[in-house]
Structure 1
Amino acid sequence: MPDVTIVVATRDRAAELRRSLARHTAPVIVVDNASEDDTAEVAEEAGARLVRLPRNHGAAARNVGVRMATTRYVAFADDDSWWAPGALERAVAVMDAHPRTALVAARVLVGERQRLEPVSELMARSPLGRPDDLPGRAILGFLACSALVRRDAFLAAGGFSETLHFAGEEELLALDLAAAGWGLAYLPELVVHHHPSPHRPDSRLRRRREARNRLLTAWLRRPLPVFVRAALTSLASRDGRGGLADAARAWPQVADARRPVPPEVERARAGLDAY
């Protein structure tokens, strides 16, 4: 086995979890976000290490799994995704050869037809180039289900935000890793399969949550004019206005946590806005 642990955060999707656990090729830690179905039984039957949380922590549940892992690297998977055979071994070898890299993102193929995930297509065209000390194109965002991280770097950066909870939670972590001097890279030769669960949140609710988290991330890490523009842009759509209202309700949790990224990281992030 490669020096990697797979961490899966899940909630009330036992059927999907049963299917995906059978396909993993490395030790798995399942972090259960207070499920009310038979998730725990499914995880235990598959031989995964199980952590049952008393409430739903959203994406931050992954942090619990990372802290429990004892391997140098941690790969994330959703309850409806899995890494292709050989991908983790290749990812570990790449990370070993590139010590400044904190995270590599794989190419995501969706469903039985293996359609390329649009976010993977965007990462493949990242305008940030390919620095000599990174194994692929530099990125400042990723899909959590396709990421392998250097455990120590992830923990030092604080992991996923409890406040953001879920939907678009990856950008804040990407910015924090980059601010700490780490590199993030997209490697299309690594493959993750994603078979989206039919039991997914309403798309409008997700768009509203994504709008909320974009605003909170902009406040936490980006210059004030960027935050103001994001807030004004939110007024143009119903989902954006809902996200703005939700961000205002979360304000007490983030008001004093603002820590803008260094200028070089902001320049790179602004370049993505202009792309």
Structure 2
Amino acid sequence: MADVTIVVATKDREEELRRSLRHHTVPVIVVDNASSDGTAQVAVDAGARLVRLGSNLGAAARNIGVEQATTRYVAFADDDSWWAPGALDHATKILDAHPRTALLAARVLVGEEGRLDPVSGGMARSPLGRPMGLPGQAVLGYLACSIIVRRDAFLGVGGFSELLHFGGEEELLALDLATAGWGQAYLPELVVHHHPATQGRDHRWRRRREARNRLLTAWLRRPLPALAQAAAGSLRTPEGRRGMADAVRALPSVLGARRPVPRAVAEARASLDGY
């Protein structure tokens, strides 16, 4: 069996979780963000290890699952996604053979028809190239449900930020791993199936949250001209302007937390702007 654990963070999604858990073929840790429905019981009934939280930590709940895992590698899945058969076995072999690679991102196929997720298409066209020693195209962004990480590397950079909560939380992790000298690669032969709900999702709220987190990430890690560029981009849409207001409200709590990335990482990230 592959030396990997799947971590799923969820909240109030019992039907989605019931469907996805049956597809997992390695041990699963479900971190329940204080659900008020039957989500926790679904996890128990499926044989997953359950961690129940008293409050909603958002994406940072995954960190607790990684801490609980005892395997060298941890793969993430959403409550509506799962890894294709054989993908995790192949991924662990790749990571074994590339000790300076901390993270592999898979190709995400959406829905019953298997549409390529646009984020996966973007990673395939990444201008970052393939540095020597990396098993695939270099990336500085991905979908959390499509990644497998080296547990120690993930925990070493602090995992996902509790401040960002949810929505575009992956960029800060990518920048922190790159700053620590870790490689991150897209491997299209790894496949994740994602079946998001088509109804009941507030896409405007999601865009607003992503704008907020993009600005906060820029403040925390990117050069100030990049922050200004991100702010200018946010002004173009109503959701972006609301996200900027949210970021300004959160800024006092992170004024002293700014740690700009090294020049090489900043330049790599800048090459992705507008790509």
Q: TM-score, normalised by structure 1?
A: 0.98
Q: Which residue of the partner structure matches residue 215 of structure 1?
A: 215
Q: Which residue of the partner structure matches residue 58 of structure 2?
A: 58
* 2:9 is equivalent to residue 9 of structure 1: yes
1:242 counterpart letter in structure 2: R
**Cα offset for 1:197?**
2.4
Q: Distance in 1 between matches of 2:164 and 2:227?
A: 16
Q: Which residue of the partner structure matches residue 267 of structure 1?
A: 267
Q: Which residue of the partner structure matches residue 113 of structure 1?
A: 113
2:191 counterpart letter in structure 1: V
1:113-170 Cα deviation digits (max 9, x unpaired): 0000000000001111111211000000010000000000000010000000001000
**Cα offset for 1:255?**
1.0
Q: Distance in 1 between matches of 2:199 and 2:13?
A: 8
Q: Distance in 1 between matches of 2:257 and 2:111?
A: 39
Q: Distance in 2 between matches of 1:188 and 1:6?
A: 19
Q: Distance in 1 between matches of 2:262 and 2:80?
A: 36
Alignment check: 8 A CA contact 1:234 1:241 kept: yes
Alignment check: 8 A CA contact 1:108 1:120 kept: yes
1:254 counterpart letter in structure 2: V
* Moved segments of 4+, more than 2 Å: 197-201
Alignment check: 8 A CA contact 1:163 1:253 kept: no
Q: Distance in 1 between matches of 2:10 and 2:199?
A: 12
1:256 aligned counterpart, secondary structure: helix
Which has the higher mean CA deviation after the structures are superposed, 250-259 or 93-102? 250-259
* 2:54 is equivalent to residue 24 of structure 1: no
For residues 171-190 of structure 1, the aligned pairs below 5 Å read 171-190=171-190
Alignment check: 8 A CA contact 1:210 1:243 kept: yes
Q: Distance in 2 between matches of 1:118 and 1:4?
A: 27
CA RMSD, Structure 1 to Structure 2 (Å): 0.9
Q: Distance in 2 between matches of 1:152 and 1:253?
A: 28
For residues 63-78 of structure 1, the aligned pairs below 5 Å read 63-78=63-78
Q: Which residue of the partner structure matches residue 34 of structure 2?
A: 34
* 2:133 is equivalent to residue 133 of structure 1: yes
1:161-214 Cα deviation digits (max 9, x unpaired): 000000100000000000000000000000000000246530000000000000
Q: Distance in 2 between matches of 1:91 and 1:253?
A: 38
Alignment check: 8 A CA contact 1:140 1:171 kept: yes
Q: Which residue of the partner structure matches residue 240 of structure 1?
A: 240
Q: Distance in 2 between matches of 1:145 and 1:229?
A: 28
Alignment check: 8 A CA contact 1:31 1:61 kept: yes
2:32 counterpart letter in structure 1: D
1:219-239 Cα deviation digits (max 9, x unpaired): 000001111221122122111
Alignment check: 8 A CA contact 1:13 1:199 kept: no
Q: Which residue of the partner structure matches residue 147 of structure 1?
A: 147
2:272 aligned counterpart, secondary structure: helix
**Cα offset for 1:274?**
5.1
1:255 aligned counterpart, secondary structure: helix
Q: TM-score, normalised by structure 2?
A: 0.98
Q: Which residue of the partner structure matches residue 196 of structure 1?
A: 196
Q: Which residue of the partner structure matches residue 90 of structure 2?
A: 90
Q: 1:274 to 1:42 in 2, by over 3 A?
A: closer
Q: 1:200 to 1:187 in 2, by over 3 A?
A: farther
Which has the higher mean CA deviation after the structures are superposed, 33-42 or 249-258? 249-258
Q: How many residues get paired?
A: 275
1:103 aligned counterpart, secondary structure: strand
Alignment check: 8 A CA contact 1:107 1:190 kept: yes
Structure 1 residues without counterparts, runs of 5 or longer:
none
**Cα offset for 1:112?**
0.3
Q: Distance in 1 between matches of 2:250 and 2:19?
A: 36
2:261 aligned counterpart, secondary structure: coil
